[in-house]
């Protein structure tokens, strides 16, 4: 396997010390407080809040407070999205006031509901406007500001190196690049070599993102991109320990706190479920947790019956959901799918 030792080293981001170089990506509706706490406990170097709409945050919309709330972790990083400089600045001030140590600007989300509002990766279509948002956020807070982007809008506009260079000049302290264009969404294979052009354009740390789920892939993306760190997103579905497992592999150690048998995994899933109900309340928590329960079942339970799966994902009584989960895991004859944990 290629050398992974670089990933075990700490990283300085504008004076904020990050314990290692394997990060949990911000994922809307996924990387909430319970998920981030688990990823950190497993050894992820940095965890990022799910995307927060700056306009809604600035207007005090319900639910935004939960997304920016400090979870007690050593580094609290909040990602903001938006297209209005005033809202981005005010959102950054609010997040910093809630204890954010780093503010990340989303210029990479490909979702139509985001790009349709000229936010996320749509900002890469107008770099002058993108820089106006960066200037607003950098000018609003004392904490480091970072940017997450894609390679460009499409193959005809691969302008990530230009955006990264201008962002650095504006005071951004780190950039993360997903190795796809917006028009690719998540199709095809991420172009890890293209990220190297961003690395060549800046002197600040560059984080490579896209299609990493194992130590070998983490080593390959670093080798091909020359990046300083790696960020991992969708591989965490049903496995909050993936980043920690890769960070541990860089030192030859085992990642901490990973459940090692079906009974331990059942306890883990139930605890995650309980934490989500406590955060959101039972009514909302039941809905929010279903995708996580589905991923745990898909990843770790071999051949769960359709009726059992449906009952777990549709029941409205938490006690029934928990009983069904424990029953399914106790009957699962398959070994756990703990990819990248070793």
Q: What pLDDT score does 2 carry?
A: 60
Q: Is 71 exposed, middle or buried (0-12, 13-18, 19+ CB in 10 A)?
A: middle
pTM check: above 0.85: yes
Other beta carbons within 10 angstroms of residue 316's beta carbon come to 9
Rounded Cα gap, residues 171 and 148, in angstroms: 14
pLDDT confidence of residue 337: 55
Residue 275 Cα distances to 28, 223, 292, angstroms? 18, 38, 12
Residue 334 pLDDT: 53
Number of Cβ within 10 Å of residue 157's Cβ equals 15
The phi, psi pair for 145, rounded to 5°, reads: -115, 135
52, 105, 109, 141: the active-site residue: 109
The whole-number pLDDT of residue 116 equals 84
Mean pLDDT by 10 residues, the chain (342 residues): 84 98 96 98 97 94 89 96 97 97 95 88 96 98 98 93 98 97 90 98 98 95 96 97 96 88 93 97 96 94 85 95 93 54 39
| Separation of alpha carbons 102 and 14, rounded Å | 9
> How confident is the model at residue 28, as a pLDDT?
93
Q: What is the pLDDT of residue 92?
A: 97
Tens of pLDDT, residue by residue over 106-152, are 999 988 889 888 889 999 999 999 999 999 999 999 999 999 999 99
Side-chain half-sphere exposure of 139, counting CA atoms within 13 A: 12
Sheet with strand 145-150: strands edge to edge = 46-47, 22-24, 229-232, 206-209, 174-178, 145-150, 102-107, 77-81, 52-53
**What integer pLDDT is reported at residue 341 of this predicted model?**
42
| Residue 109 is a catalytic residue | yes
Distance from the Cα of residue 75 to its chain's centroid: 14
What is the structure's pLDDT at 338? 53
């Amino acid at each position: 396997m290629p050398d992974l030792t670089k990933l075990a080293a700490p990283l300085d981001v504008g004076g904020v010390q990050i314990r290692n170089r394997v990060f949990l990506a911000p994922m809307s509706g996924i990387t909430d407080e319970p998920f981030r706490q688990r990823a950190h406990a497993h050894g992820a170097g940095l965890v990022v809040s799910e995307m927060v709409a700056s306009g809604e945050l600035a207007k005090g919309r319900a639910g935004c407070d939960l997304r920016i709330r400090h979870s007690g972790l050593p580094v609290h990083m909040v990602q903001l999205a938006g297209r209005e400089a005033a809202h981005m600045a005010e959102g950054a001030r609010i997040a910093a006031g809630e204890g954010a140590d780093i503010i990340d600007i989303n210029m990479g989300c490909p979702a139509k509901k985001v790009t349709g509002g000229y936010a996320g990766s749509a900002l890469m279509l107008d770099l002058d406007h993108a820089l106006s948002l960066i200037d607003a956020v950098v000018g609003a807070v004392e904490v480091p500001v970072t940017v997450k982007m894609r390679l460009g809008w499409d193959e005809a506009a691969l302008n990530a190196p230009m955006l990264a260079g201008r962002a650095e000049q504006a005071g951004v302290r780190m950039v993360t690049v997903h190795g796809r264009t917006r028009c690719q969404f998540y199709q095809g294979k991420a172009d890890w070599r293209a990220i190297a052009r961003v690395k060549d354009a800046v002197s600040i740390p560059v984080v490579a993102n896209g299609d990493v789920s194992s130590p070998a892939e983490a080593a390959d993306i670093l080798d091909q991109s020359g990046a300083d760190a790696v960020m991992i997103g969708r591989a965490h579905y049903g496995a909050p320990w993936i980043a920690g497992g890769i960070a541990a592999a860089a030192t030859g150690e085992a990642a901490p706190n990973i459940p090692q048998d079906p009974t331990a995994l059942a306890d883990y899933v139930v605890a995650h479920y309980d934490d989500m109900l406590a955060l959101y309340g039972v009514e909302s928590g039941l809905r929010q947790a279903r995708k996580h329960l589905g991923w745990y079942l898909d990843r770790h339970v071999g051949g769960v019956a359709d009726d059992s799966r449906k009952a777990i994902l549709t029941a409205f009584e938490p006690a029934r959901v928990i009983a069904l989960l424990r029953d399914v895991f106790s009957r699962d004859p398959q070994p756990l799918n703990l990819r990248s944990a070793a």
